[in-house]
Every structure is written in C-alpha cells, then in structure tokens.
C-alpha cells in the first residue's frame, strides 16, 4: 500500500515504553508536538517503533531536504568512513573541506571572493557571523528583527525573539541588540497595507531607531532571515530588501542573511535571498547543508575575514563525514530537487490558497517553494490567533499519519523533503483537508 499506515491508537505499546524512559532521563526543554518515536526512515516515509508508517511533511525540521536517509548520501558517507571520520580541521588540514568551501563560495549570491568558516549547527553559524562582523567593523551593536529565530546559545538568543519562553530566565544576554519589526504584512505592526505603506517598516529604522535609540555608526551588522522561519514562515513583500539594503549601505552596516532554514534549495532556489537578488555580506548555513549530519557554515566576502589565527575556531566544524554528505547534498539539490521544490511548492500553494476562501479559520497561506505556512485565526476580521485549533490540526494529522510542525503563534508549516512526488503531495493534502473538514464541523458549532 502506498500511503501512511496507522495500526491503532498512538502512541503504540513500544513507543509508550520509550516515552517513559525518555521522560525519566531527557531534558524537559525539548519541544515535542506529538509522541512520534522514530525507528527507521526512507525518503518521505517514517516508520515508528510500532510499525506505523507516516508521511513526512517536516524533513526532520528542515534538514533532510534530499529525503530522509538518502541512499546516495549514505553511500558517500560509507566511502568516507573507510578513509577517516575526523581529524580536526581547526588544527590540521583535510582533503575535503576546501572542496565544499569552494562550492559554497561559488553558489552563494555575490560575484566577489569569499571565504568559509565551518560550524556544527545553526546557532554556531550565527555566533560566528556576529563575531566576524564585530571583528571586522569594530562596532558593538547588532540590528535584528522581532519574531526572528537564530538559535539558543547566548549570542544568538540575544537576537532570537520569536517566543519569550526561549529567553525567560536566561538574561543577561549579550547587550547592544536592537530589534525592529519584520515585514509581516498580514499583521503589519503599523496597521498599514502594502504597497501604500511605502515601506514605513524600513523608513522607521532610520527616522526613529537610528535617531533615538541605536546610533548607526555603532552597528556592526543587521541579521535577517530572508523568510522568517520559526516566527511563522513569513515572506517579505517584493521591494522590501532593496529598501533595507539602501539604509544599511548608507551606514556601512553588514548584511547577514540567516539561511539556516531557508537555504539549500528549500524555497526552489539554492538560497531564499536569490528571490529578491539580495546579496548578503555573510550567509549563515546549517540544517539541510549535510542532510542530517551536523554541519554549519558561514560564507562571507573575503575582505571581512580580517580575524587572525586563534581568534575563532572549533573542534568538529568541517568534519569529513559531514563535508562529503554536504557535497553530495548540494549536487542532488542542484540537479533535481531544487526544481522539484519549486514545482511542488507552486502546486501546493495553488491548492492551499483556495482553502482560504473555503475555511473561515484559515487566514493566510504564503510561501516559496516548499517553505509554506498556513496561518489559522479565530476570526478573519480581528485575525486573533487560533493557536489551540492549529495544535489540534497538527495532532489530528499525526493520528492520520501525516507529520507536520507548527511555527509562529498559529501557523502550520509545510516543509517536506524536496524529493517529494506529486502523488505523495496529493496524499498529504487529502489527509490535511479531511482534518480541516473535521475541525470545520466543530468550529461552526
Ligand atoms: C533561521 C534559523 N537560524 C538558526 C537556527 C538554529 O539552528 P540550530 O538549531 O542548528 O542551532 C534555526 C533553527 O531552527 C533557524 O531556523
């Protein structure tokens, strides 16, 4: 049978035992949405420990872009295992890292010489980008966005502002960070409409923030997600980044694009910045870069790499297994999956946008490629967030064998592996629609 197979009540018996052990020994800070205990994965399919089969619309939270446990990547990793697993790139040279660095310099936007620093995760890439920007500019301040998610280590967390739980009790974080509103047109903080707003959300940076709060000569960089991820899969309007870069250039403020979630083909282009011809000074990468092995990178204009030997380093960054996996991932994404992401994304968007008319609780559908968000509201006029309803939909889909994840206050993200076929998309959409119809009956009662 082609499709999810759920054998009974979830979680099953085997899952229950593992969940009990997990609860006993693992940190309560993890953010599990439902009790899925994974045993095996293959492409878009996930088998749990009780033999239930799920259709993956999460890609392991934006990681397994070429499909879960991709066979070609597995083969590449196994070949590398015969040579060596690890020999610290920070203290020696290895034969693979420069190949990936060269590829990333070539692929990232901007026709100028670049350099790469390898990390192990998204938050570590963000930390490295902030340190590089401060080191080069010798300026202390950082400009970030409300709703942003850049990670949870102290530096990144100082800019992260998607949920206050992520910050509560962790102060003091690094200081000198100024947050400005993100161009969230569906919920414009200034209650304006695009394009009549004339990009007030950019103008206010100069006219208010820089004048009264944050001297622009003190700002090292502005860090932005080209599409805000954890904040709610929010797509800025066309023209926004042109306006923003004009302001940043005027004050020699570096532009750091956090493509940790939106990069590596997810949006139908290798990097989401490319949708707006945006050329960042530094790009942060992680998540899908090595399709599941821990690897991150920052790629930046060569002229900013003024930091000296010993000023920044790590033990695992550029690990050989992760690097070969990344080289293969990029090849596969370039050759086939990026185009599929665009085609499947357009297909889903066309269908899901029609649902906005059909369901009174679906307020907005937006996205690019396979980074699609559906925002649920209690009322289309007030736009009050329907968080409980959104959570119910996510859980009901899980019970029917469709894996989804929430983001923002009341958004569901569609972010399947980029390898997904049209028939699998149809299965997912049909399960999702069934669930929407079920909740619709209760919603109108
Ligand atoms: C845009 C963005 N930046 C940074 C991070 C942090 O990545 P990590 O969890 O690997 O530290 C994430 C994770 O979701 C992210 O979406």
**Cα four-point dihedral sign 396, 287, 173, 29:** positive
- What's the rounded Cα separation, in Å, for the pair 418 and 428? 14
- The pLDDT assigned to 37 comes to 98
> Which residues sit opposite 118 in a β-bridge?
297
- The pLDDT assigned to 261 comes to 98
- Calculate how far, in angstroms, residue 160's C-alpha sits from the geometric centre of ligand 1: 10
- What's the rounded Cα separation, in Å, for the pair 5 and 92? 49
- The pLDDT assigned to 441 comes to 83
Task: Tell me, using a 6 A CB cutoff, whether residue 121 lines ligand 1.
Answer: yes
Judging by beta carbons within 10 Å of its beta carbon (0-12, 13-18, 19+), is residue 302 exposed, middle or buried?
exposed
- Calculate how far, in angstroms, residue 34's C-alpha sits from the geometric centre of ligand 1: 21
What are 62-85's pLDDT values in tens digits?
Answer: 999 999 999 999 999 999 999 999
- The pLDDT assigned to 398 comes to 98
- The pLDDT assigned to 154 comes to 97
Judging by beta carbons within 10 Å of its beta carbon (0-12, 13-18, 19+), is residue 2 exposed, middle or buried?
exposed
Task: Tell me, using a 6 A CB cutoff, whether residue 123 lines ligand 1.
Answer: yes
C-beta neighbour count of 270 within 10 angstroms? 20
Kindly report the protein residue whose alpha carbon is nearest to atom 16 of ligand 1.
261
Ligand 1 atom index nearest CA of 262? 1
Q: Are strands 38-42 and 45-48 parallel, antiparallel or unpaired?
A: antiparallel
- Calculate how far, in angstroms, residue 123's C-alpha sits from the geometric centre of ligand 1: 6
- The pLDDT assigned to 166 comes to 95
Residue with token string 């192990």: 120
- The pLDDT assigned to 319 comes to 96
- The pLDDT assigned to 443 comes to 72
What are 402-426's pLDDT values in tens digits?
Answer: 999 999 999 999 999 999 999 999 9
Answer yes or no: is pLDDT of 303 > 70: yes
Answer yes or no: is pLDDT of 445 > 80: no
Task: Tell me, using a 6 A CB cutoff, whether residue 230 lines ligand 1.
Answer: yes
- What's the rounded Cα separation, in Å, for the pair 221 and 251? 10
- The pLDDT assigned to 444 comes to 60
- Calculate how far, in angstroms, residue 327's C-alpha sits from the geometric centre of ligand 1: 21
Q: How many residues does the chain have?
A: 445
Q: What is the average pLDDT score of the chain?
A: 97
Task: Tell me, using a 6 A CB cutoff, whether residue 126 lines ligand 1.
Answer: yes
Ligand 1 atom index nearest CA of 153? 11
Q: Out of 60, 126, 151, give the residue to mutate to test ligand 1, the one with the largest number of ligand atoms within 8 Å of its CB.
A: 151
**The model scores a pTM over 0.95:** yes
Answer yes or no: is pLDDT of 113 > 90: yes
Angle at 419 between CA 414 and CA 260, to 5 degrees: 60
Are the C-beta atoms of 36 and 395 separated by less than 8 Å?
no
- The pLDDT assigned to 442 comes to 81
As a whole number, mean pLDDT of residues 304-330 equals 98
As a whole number, mean pLDDT of residues 389-405 equals 98
- The pLDDT assigned to 1 comes to 52
Nearest to 352 by CA among 340, 367, 365: 365
As a whole number, mean pLDDT of residues 276-300 equals 98
- The pLDDT assigned to 344 comes to 98
Q: What tokens appear for 188 in the block?
A: 């414009």
Catalogue all structural domains in the chain, each as residue range(s) with its CATH number. 13-69+336-442 (3.90.1150.10), 73-332 (3.40.640.10)
Q: What tokens appear for 203 in the block?
A: 């103008």
- Lowest mean pLDDT of 19-28, 158-167, 436-445, name the range: 436-445
As a whole number, mean pLDDT of residues 39-56 equals 98
Task: Tell me, using a 6 A CB cutoff, whether residue 125 lines ligand 1.
Answer: no
Phi (first) and psi of residue 369, to 5 degrees: 55, -135
Kindly report the protein residue whose alpha carbon is nearest to atom 4 of ligand 1.
150
- The pLDDT assigned to 197 comes to 98
Element (H, E) at 365: strand 362-368
Q: Give me the helices (H) in 205-255, please.
A: 210-212, 240-250
3-state helix, strand, coil in the chain (%, to 5): 40, 20, 40
Task: Tell me, using a 6 A CB cutoff, whether residue 151 lines ligand 1.
Answer: yes
CA dist 320 to 78, 90, 104, Å? 11, 12, 16
As a whole number, mean pLDDT of residues 159-165 equals 95
Task: Tell me, using a 6 A CB cutoff, whether residue 413 lines ligand 1.
Answer: no
Task: Tell me, using a 6 A CB cutoff, whether residue 149 lines ligand 1.
Answer: yes
- What's the rounded Cα separation, in Å, for the pair 110 and 303? 13
**Higher pLDDT among residues 282 and 440, named by residue:** 282
Phi (first) and psi of residue 412, to 5 degrees: -110, 135
């Amino acid at each position: 049978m082609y499709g999810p197979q759920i054998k009974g009540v979830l979680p099953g018996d085997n899952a229950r035992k593992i969940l009990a052990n997990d609860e006993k020994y693992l940190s309560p800070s993890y953010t599990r949405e439902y009790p899925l205990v994974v045993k095996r994965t293959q492409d878009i399919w996930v088998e749990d420990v009780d033999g239930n089969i799920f259709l993956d619309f999460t890609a392991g939270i934006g990681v397994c872009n070429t499909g879960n446990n991709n066979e070609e990547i597995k083969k590449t990793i196994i070949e590398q295992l015969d040579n060596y697993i690890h020999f610290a790139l920070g203290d020696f040279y290895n034969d693979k890292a420069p190949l990936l660095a060269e590829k990333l310099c070539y692929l990232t936007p901007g026709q100028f010489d670049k350099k790469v620093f390898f990390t192990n995760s998204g938050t570590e890439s963000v930390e490295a980008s902030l340190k590089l920007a401060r080191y080069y500019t010798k300026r202390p301040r950082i400009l970030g966005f409300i709703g942003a998610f850049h990670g949870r280590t102290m530096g990144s967390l100082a800019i992260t502002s998607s949920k206050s739980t992520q910050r509560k009790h962790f102060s003091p974080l690094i200081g000198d960070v100024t947050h400005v509103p993100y161009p969230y047109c569906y919920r414009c903080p200034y209650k304006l409409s695009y394009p009549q707003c004339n990009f007030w959300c950019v103008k206010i940076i100069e006219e208010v923030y820089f004048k009264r709060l944050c001297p622009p000569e003190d700002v090292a960089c502005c860090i932005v997600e080209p599409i805000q991820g954890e904040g709610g899969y929010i797509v800025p309007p066309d023209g926004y980044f042109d306006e923003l870069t004009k302001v940043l250039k005027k004050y020699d403020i570096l532009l750091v694009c956090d493509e940790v979630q939106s990069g590596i083909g997810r949006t139908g282009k290798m990097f989401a910045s490319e949708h707006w011809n945006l050329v960042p000074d530094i790009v942060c990468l992680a998540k899908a870069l090595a399709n599941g092995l821990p690897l991150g990178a920052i790629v930046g204009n060569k002229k900013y790499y003024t930091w000296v030997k010993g000023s920044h380093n790590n033990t695992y960054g550029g690990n050989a297994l992760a690097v070969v996996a990344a080289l293969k991932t990029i090849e596969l994404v370039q050759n086939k999956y990026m185009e599929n992401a665009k085609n499947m994304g357009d297909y889903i968007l066309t269908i899901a946008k029609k649902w906005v008319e059909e369901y009174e609780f679906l307020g907005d559908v937006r996205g690019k490629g396979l980074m699609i968000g559906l925002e649920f509201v209690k009322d289309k006029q007030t736009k009050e967030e329907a968080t409980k309803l959104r959570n119910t939909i996510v859980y009901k889909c899980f019970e029917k064998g469709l894996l989804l994840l929430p983001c923002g206050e009341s958004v569901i993200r569609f972010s399947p592996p980029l390898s997904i076929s049209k028939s699998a998309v149809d299965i997912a959409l049909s399960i999702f629609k069934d669930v929407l119809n079920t909740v619709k009956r209760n919603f109108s009662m």
